[in-house]
Every structure is written in C-alpha cells, then in structure tokens.
Amino acid sequence: MRSKLVAVDGDMGAEGLGVSGAALEALAGEVEVLVNSAATTTFDERFDVAVKINTLGAQRCAELARRCPRLEVLVHVSTAFVNGQREGYAAEAPFAYGVPIKAEVSTSGGRVDVEGEVARALALPGKVRARLAAAGARGEELESAVTDELRREGMRSARRRGWQDTYVYTKALGEMLLARAAERHGLPCCVVRPSIVESAYREPLPGWVEGIRMADPILLAYGKGQLRGFVADAGGILDVVPVDFVTNAILAAMPRHARSGRARPLEVYHVATSTANPLTIQRFVSASSRHFAEDPFRDRSGAAIRVDRLGVIPTPEAFQWYALTSFLLPAALAEWAQRLPGRGKMSPEDRKRVIVGKKTYEQMSYMCEIYSAYTSYRCRFGSENVAAMLAELSEADRRTFNFDLSDLDWDEYIAGVHIPGLRKFVLKGRQ
C-alpha cells in the first residue's frame, strides 16, 4: 500500500477542499475515481459547520471532479436517512432541487432556496456573536453560547422542512447541489446511501469497528447493567448494515457508472435492509439479550453482571421519566440528605455516585432526544437498484464483493459478530 497511496492534506469545509499547488495539480492530472465519504455525522452539529462540510463539501467534490480530465466516476456517499420524515416506502431516487420533505405532505411546505440557506448558515455565526456580545457575553462564555444557538438553529431549520436533524438536512442539501452540478456538466456520478453503518460482517475481520456507533452506547450500557431499556417502536425495525457491505457496494458502483461504460443517469443506491431483510426491534432485543446472558460483563470483583431482557420503552416521554427516576432523582436525594443536620462530609465514593448519576441522566436524555427519531423510524428504504447492481456481477465478483442484503443472518450478526466486535475492538477486551 505504501507504494500506491499518497496522503494529501485537505479540508472539506474550505474552498477548493483546502487543496492547492502541486497537490491539486497531481490530483487533477491523475484521478480517475473520486469517492466522497467525508461528513460531520453529529446529528445536532453547528448549522454553519454542517453546511460547510456536508453541503458545500459535496459541491466542492464536483468542482474537483470537473478539473480531472481522466475522471471515470464520482461516487458520493450520503445516508439513507436523507429521506427524513417520510413514512412508508421510499424509492432510490435523487431529490428534486429545492423541494423539501415537508412539501410532499403539505401544500404549505414551499421550497428551499438552497443557495440562500447556505448563505444564511454561513452568516449566522457573525450575527449571533455580535448580538450576544452586545448583551455582555465574553470569551469562552460567548463562544459556548454561539455554538449552542447555532446547534439549535440547525435542528429548527431541519425539522421545519421535514428532516429530523441537522445532519440529514445538510446531507440532503449536498445531494441537491451535487445532482445539479452533475447534470449541468455531464459528470458520471452516483449516490450511495447507506443506513446505520455498523461493524464488519466478514471483512477485514468479523466485528471490526472503530469507535462507537449509534446503537452501541445502548448495548454497552445495557451489558454493564446501567440501562434496562431504550426508546423504540416495539413493532418497528432498526435499519442497520455492516460496513463491508457498504464498501463492496461502493466498489461495484464505480464501474457501473464509469464514463467508459454505457451512459447512465445519476442513480441512487440504498444500501439498507428495511425492505430487503428487516431487522425487527424484537429480534435486535432478543439477540442482544442472549449475548449478555451467555457472555456477561464482569464487575471489578470479577463477578458476572447479570441483566434482565433488554426492554423497549414506547415513547420519549416514558424514557425521560425512566431516566429521571433511575439516575437524576437518586443523585438529587443523596445531595439533599447530605444537608440534613448531623450528617458528616460526603464520602468520595458517594460524591462520585452523585456525579455519575447526574452525568448519566444528561447522556440518557440526549440519546433519547437525538436517537429516538431513528429507533422509531417509519420510513422503509427500497433497494431495487442495489439488487440490480448485484445481479449484474459475475458469480466470482459476487463472492468477492458481497453486498447481498438478504445474506445477513441477524441473530448471528448481532449476538455473534457485532457485540463481540465492540468488546474486542472498542473496549479492547476491558470488561
């Protein structure tokens, strides 16, 4: 790999992707395939930051592609959740430019002025900072307040137009800009939309993952006995796909859309399982519960941490009440009891329990607010284009670059691959 790979310093949030001079000349002169898989995936990211990376980053990749005379294909990696607050079946289709999700279900949905929305997001920091500074905010307090307000504005803007959070909203705007550029300039291009990308099924190693993904904090907290349940639609599904299936689909899309092949319009690929091979919430619960029943975490003394079956809490309000009574209320009562006459100084262990209780409550509340839109998601992603692409491969390629979504055994994957992968590659074997 050292003989083939060259690292180039860049910045998705900067003009020209932060690449200039000799590096830009080398890229423009040599690149045949351009894959954009960069994003800020924080659901409630600052509005300006998300627009710079997720929206303008897509447009800047198209601009780089135009500078590459040898370009065969540009593959843009988005997310299936750009379908936002749609319900029911969603086809693999690009967005109509400037048409928000809200307009599909409401005559008052209007349109999105994409360029105007980008300009508004980029101008917001200066306006917010000036207003807060005039009110007396200074230094770190000022910058923290600016960040908080820009996070809230991103979420408000997304939900007002039919998307659940800033991440998917700015990714959808990026797709719109990319599709327009591809059409205007004849760029060979496609969009790959994976759902929740989790650990590898087979390659490079079963269970391989770097970092904690969306459902993982729930699984780990449950295994440690810190959490008894999570908010979800008990009759719903969790749309998850292993990372190696996504990678293989990207690789297969490259020659399918290459300029040297037969011409294709811009196509979208949902590398997702909600229609092809649904993972029900109940099956996820059963597999997760079985794993920790058979191979529990250990406490500091080495004793097994026994947990009941993972619960499903039906509404965000019910989950908030569970988090309040389980974590915040005991911490508050311990602090209150400490103030009673005759009580000595709180021990370090008790003080730590109070701090952990409050912090856990904050984390659980945040997870509920952000993740419940995904664990109770009502949209189902069509994947006919993915199936057609798989069918076009030779038998040998189908084995080498497998992304057959029907090939997933969910019980094996959750209990025997994914959770062991978290314990091995994220926790590094720590119990």
Instruction: Write out the catalytic residue numbers.
Output: 167, 171
Question: Distance between CA 73 and CA 257 in Å, rounded?
Answer: 6
Sort strands 379-381 and 88-90 into parallel, antiparallel or unpaired: parallel
Tokens standing for residue 416? 């025997």
The C-alpha angle with vertex 71 and arms to 29 and 78, in degrees rounded to 5, equals: 120
Sort strands 229-231 and 73-77 into parallel, antiparallel or unpaired: unpaired
Question: Distance between CA 122 and CA 222 in Å, rounded?
Answer: 40
Question: Distance between CA 181 and CA 63 in Å, rounded?
Answer: 8
Question: Distance between CA 116 and CA 122 in Å, rounded?
Answer: 10
Nearest residue to 157 (alpha-carbon basis) of 118, 214, 196: 118
Tokens standing for residue 109? 């949905």
Instruction: Round to the nearest angstrom and report the end-to-end CA distance of the chain.
Output: 35
Residue 147's H or E segment, with its range, is helix 139-160
Beta strands in 39-129 (DSSP E): 73-77, 88-90
Question: Distance between CA 71 and CA 33 in Å, rounded?
Answer: 6
Question: Distance between CA 379 and CA 122 in Å, rounded?
Answer: 31
CA distances from 303 to 295, 309, 350, 353 (A): 12, 19, 22, 20
DSSP 80: G
